[in-house]
Amino acid sequence: MNFYSLIESIVKSKPTNVAIKSSAKQVISYRELDQQVSRYALALDARGACPGDRIIVQVDKSLPSLFLYLACLKAGYVFVPLNTAYKSTELTHFIADAEPKLFVTSSDRYDEASALVAAIKGCSAVILAGDSDRDLFGLAARQSSSSLVRLANPDDVAVIIYTSGTTGRSKGAMVTHHNLVSNVNVLTSLWRFSEHDTLLHALPVFHVHGLFVANHCVLSVGASMLWLTRFDVEEIIDAIPQSTVMMGVPTFYTRLLSDDKLTADLCRNMRLFISGSAPMLSETHDLFEQRTGHRILERYGMSEAGMITSNSYDGARKVGTVGLPLPGVSVRIVDDADLSVAQGITGHIQIKGPNVFLGYRNMPEKTQEEFTDEGWFRTGDLGVLDGDTYLTIVGRSKDLIITGGYNVYPKEIELILDDEPGVFESAVFGVKHPDFGEAVTAVVVPNPNARLDPESLIEALKIKLASYKVPKAIRVVTQLPRNAMGKVQKSLLRDAYKSD
């Protein structure tokens, strides 16, 4: 099934239901949504795209960006979202790996994008909106408002999500239409979504949380969403009384708690607050419940599998856990030999289910390496199951840092730091942060007789890395702590710099 078939069924059965209310006061029905999506699908056709072609999209969140995403699903193109913070040096790998037909960008980055795709045969850059001669917005406006949903096989790739790797090379996780359909059907049932809901959507849409979970839970059941292009505390406070559900990262909730207007009365129409993409501090949980009367529901997901576990809607929501395995999804904790451990014992988290991705694009060996012979996917996370089978994430075997809901792998930053003049070696790690969950932190060892200036290093990294990857602090040390095997002991670094 093509995932868009779920939306098409709503278009046919509830065409006048409100799908989207934007911060610009636009109100879009499901019929109007489908008409816009059809126009964008035909605009892609007009640009020479064929089913299965990859469409890279690096634009700010907007209604046209949503129409474009849904158009790719409807027409059978492969949507490839990229964080708008990525720099040219980072984009080069994504473009070479995805081999896109189109690179959709903003007007201010058009020249840069055109240069980057020049080496890809048959690929061109196009502006999403803002230039009537070269943009998809203008081209879509000239298309028909009706197009067919292209048939899809279960293993047809719908989206490629690039996720960083410990070697510094990003991997393209191929997510199928079947993955999307199976996951949203479980979530809408588990979280009780219906056409009577209004979701407050302030998440970015270049990763799973905002692109899949938020959009899909709404549009597959005929609900509405308040579409905000960014997170702004005042806008969120104004929108909460009009909403029934909010999805966010822990940073959203800590910032809301800083506003005295966040009260139980303000949240009287809300039925559910959901948090994910990063661990939430227990203090945030408790304070939010005291202020609003609502207990935040935490869940666990990843690019390769969408949502995996969730705390209960009706039952216990255990602070510090990410809940129970979703119906149809299996979770096990194993030792280094892939043997299951007893409840209460920490080990590697492995998963299996219809939500698990097809594999990594152009990386068959890596794909094979990440699956066991029995088909379990190695998540790279460490966790423990309690007596009620609630999962707690206790660490990340691949050194992943989650800051403000974004994934950062230290190796990528270390490789760049080590190339800076005067740097002998470096270590990058995360420390707890009240706002971002974790803050990226680095220590560097200078070459003999070299003098390193931390602020200069940070400025150099800002040119080469997305802003969320740049360390908040860099410290100069004489040596890195190592164990008997020579491995850097990042746990000691985290403890030493936890107050940074």
* Helix residue ranges, H only, 324-448: 364-370, 410-418
- Res 143: pLDDT: 96
Q: Is 135 exposed, middle or buried (0-12, 13-18, 19+ CB in 10 A)?
A: buried
Query: How does residue 210 score in pLDDT terms, banded at 50, 70 and 90?
Result: very high
Record the pTM: 0.86
Query: How does residue 386 score in pLDDT terms, banded at 50, 70 and 90?
Result: very high
- Percentage of residues in the chain having pLDDT higher than 90: 81
Phi, psi of 420 (to 5 degrees): -70, 145
What is the overall mean pLDDT for the chain? 93
- Res 163: pLDDT: 85
Phi, psi of 466 (to 5 degrees): -60, 145
* Residues facing residue 161 across a β-bridge: 173
Span 474-490, mean pLDDT? Answer: 80
- Res 273: pLDDT: 98
Q: Is 356 exposed, middle or buried (0-12, 13-18, 19+ CB in 10 A)?
A: buried
The type of residue at 352 is K
Tell me the per-residue pLDDT of 60-94, one tens digit each, with 9 for 90 and over. 999 999 999 999 999 999 999 999 989 998 899 99
Check whether 486 has a pLDDT greater than 60: no
Check whether 168 has a pLDDT greater than 60: no
- Res 167: pLDDT: 42
Note whether 442 and 474 are within 8 A (CB): yes
- Res 1: pLDDT: 85
Tell me the per-residue pLDDT of 136-167, one tens digit each, with 9 for 90 and over. 999 999 999 999 999 999 899 999 999 854 34
Q: At which residue do the structure tokens 């809940």 appear?
A: 323
Span 123-128, mean pLDDT? Answer: 96
Reference 95, options 85, 82, 111, 107; nearest CA is 82
Q: How does strand 224-227 pair with strand 198-201?
A: parallel
Residues 215-396, CATH architecture: 3-Layer(aba) Sandwich (3.40)
* Residues facing residue 78 across a β-bridge: 54
Query: How does residue 490 score in pLDDT terms, banded at 50, 70 and 90?
Result: confident
Span 43-58, mean pLDDT? Answer: 97
CA 22 to centroid of chain Cα atoms = 21
Check whether 98 has a pLDDT greater than 50: yes
Round to whole Å and give the CA distance between 356 and 303.
9
Tell me the per-residue pLDDT of 391-415, one tens digit each, with 9 for 90 and over. 998 766 667 788 998 878 787 898 8
- Res 90: pLDDT: 86
- Res 487: pLDDT: 67
Give the dihedral of Cα atoms 10, 13, 16, 19; nearest 10 deg: -10
What secondary structure does DSSP assign to 134-183, as a single string? TBHHHHHHTS-S--PPPP--TT-EEEEEEE--TTS--EEEEEEHHHHHHH
What secondary structure does DSSP assign to 209-224, as a single string? IIIIIIHHHHHTTT-E
Count of H-run helices and E-run strands, the chain: 16, 25
Round to whole Å and give the CA distance between 300 and 394.
13
- Res 398: pLDDT: 63
Element housing 117 (H / E): helix 110-117
Span 463-485, mean pLDDT? Answer: 88
Tell me the per-residue pLDDT of 329-364, one tens digit each, with 9 for 90 and over. 999 999 989 999 999 998 899 999 999 999 999 999
The structural domains of the chain, with segments of one domain joined by +, span 215-396, 401-496
Higher pLDDT, 249 or 267: 267
Tell me the per-residue pLDDT of 259-318, one tens digit each, with 9 for 90 and over. 999 999 999 999 999 999 877 888 899 999 999 999 999 999 999 999 999 999 999 999
| HSE, side-chain direction, 13 A CA sphere, residue 100 | 33
Q: Which of 122-131, 247-256, 299-308, 478-487 has the lowest mean pLDDT?
A: 478-487
The type of residue at 476 is V
Check whether 20 has a pLDDT greater than 80: yes
Round to whole Å and give the CA distance between 149 and 7.
10
* Helix residue ranges, H only, 170-326: 177-190, 208, 215-219, 233-239, 250-256, 282-292
- Res 313: pLDDT: 97
- Res 164: pLDDT: 58
Which CATH superfamily hosts domain 401-496?
ANL, C-terminal domain (3.30.300.30)
For 13-21, which contacts have Cβ atoms below 8 Å and span 24 or more sequence positions? 13/222, 14/195, 14/222, 17/195, 17/222, 17/224, 18/224, 19/218, 19/219, 19/224, 19/225, 20/63, 20/66, 20/224, 20/225, 20/227, 21/198, 21/224, 21/225, 21/226, 21/227, 21/242
Round to whole Å and give the CA distance between 445 and 422.
9
Cα torsion 173, 176, 182, 187: sign: positive
Q: Report in angstroms the alpha-carbon separations of 211 from 95, 203, 249, 306.
A: 20, 8, 14, 10
Span 443-471, mean pLDDT? Answer: 95
